[in-house]
């Protein structure tokens, strides 16, 4: 089980690193906009991301 969890973490890091590596200027602009967003907007983005991940896991299994 730990190996699967570590592989998922590694894949997440690879996916998160792709945008700054491929398009650093766009990533910087997106990050700048995110830092200017309100707490409720950031929470909504986080909730949407978590629910999408749970739905994908449910569909895969």
- Domain segments of the chain: what residues? 24-61
pLDDT digits over 3-57, tens only? 888 998 899 999 999 999 999 999 999 889 888 999 999 999 999 999 998 998 8
Distance CA 9, CA 51 (A): 17
Report the predicted TM-score, pTM, of the whole model to 2 decimal places. 0.67
The SS3 call for residue 37 is coil
The SS3 call for residue 5 is helix
């Amino acid at each position: 089980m730990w190996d699967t969890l570590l592989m998922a973490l590694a894949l997440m890091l690879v996916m998160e690193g792709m945008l700054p590596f491929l398009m650093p200027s766009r990533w910087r602009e997106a990050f700048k906009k995110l830092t200017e967003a309100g707490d409720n907007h950031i929470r909504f983005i986080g909730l949407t991301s978590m629910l999408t991940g749970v739905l994908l896991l449910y569909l895969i299994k």
